[in-house]
């Protein structure tokens, strides 16, 4: 099955951006790890990053057509975007929200997530390994749904 992995603003700078918070892996490293694990588990990945809210919304709409699950790190849009929440609410398959950092240990404005109102699970603070764990989880949900 096809798993979408969607990434929000500034994650293109992963590895260079505040490495004490987000680590040294780049988004290309994360993508390669996601692809490797997904293919081991018999799935395909569509991996995207954008700094533009509408592009993320458009990919969620595209996922409605062909995705068995979405793994999403909405980055700062987590805390601001009712539009991304509304888009995810139109998607009927599993959604896992990932944050590299532990948002709950950080500023109060990062403690609320609009996306968590829809997500089936949330991973925070496990570094880029969180993406791998999210893929394992959606793979088992896809298997138990018989897809
Ligand atoms: C983030 C946490 C957000 O608060 C922040 O705006 C990000 C990245 C994370 O992966 O830890 O850009 O989603």
CA distance 42 to 15: 28
pLDDT at 40: 98
Q: What average pLDDT score do residues 9-26 get?
A: 95
Q: What pLDDT does 146 receive?
A: 82
Instruction: Tell whether the model's pLDDT for residue 147 goes beyond 70.
Output: no
Q: Domain 2-144 carries which CATH code?
A: 3.40.50.9100
Cβ of residue 10 lying under 6 Å from some atom of ligand 1? yes
**Domain segments of the chain as ranges:** 2-144
Tens of pLDDT, residue by residue over 64-83, are 999 999 999 999 999 999 99
**DSSP character string of 59-102:** HHHHHHHH-SEEEEE-GGGGGT-HHHHHHHTT--S-EEEEESS-
Residues within the annotated binding site for substrate? 73, 79, 86, 100-101, 110
In a 3-state reduction of DSSP, which class is residue 126?
coil
In the structure encoding, which two tokens stand for residue 138, read together? Answer: 């959606």
* pLDDT tens digits along 92-132: 999 999 999 999 999 999 999 999 999 999 999 999 999 99
């Amino acid at each position: 099955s096809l798993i979408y992995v969607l990434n929000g603003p500034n994650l293109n700078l992963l590895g260079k951006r505040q490495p004490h918070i987000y680590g040294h892996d780049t988004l290309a490293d994360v993508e390669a790890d996601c692809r490797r694990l997904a293919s081991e588990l018999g799935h395909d990945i569509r991996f995207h990053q954008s700094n533009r809210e509408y592009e993320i919304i458009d990919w969620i709409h595209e996922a409605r057509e062909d995705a068995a699950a979405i793994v999403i790190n909405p980055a700062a849009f987590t805390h601001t975007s009712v539009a991304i929440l509304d888009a995810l609410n139109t998607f009927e398959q599993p959604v896992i929200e990932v944050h590299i950092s532990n948002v709950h240990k950080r500023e109060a404005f990062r403690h609320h997530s609009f996306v968590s109102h829809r997500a089936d699970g949330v991973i925070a603070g496990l570094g880029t390994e969180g993406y791998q764990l999210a893929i394992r989880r959606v793979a088992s949900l896809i298997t138990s749904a018989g897809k």
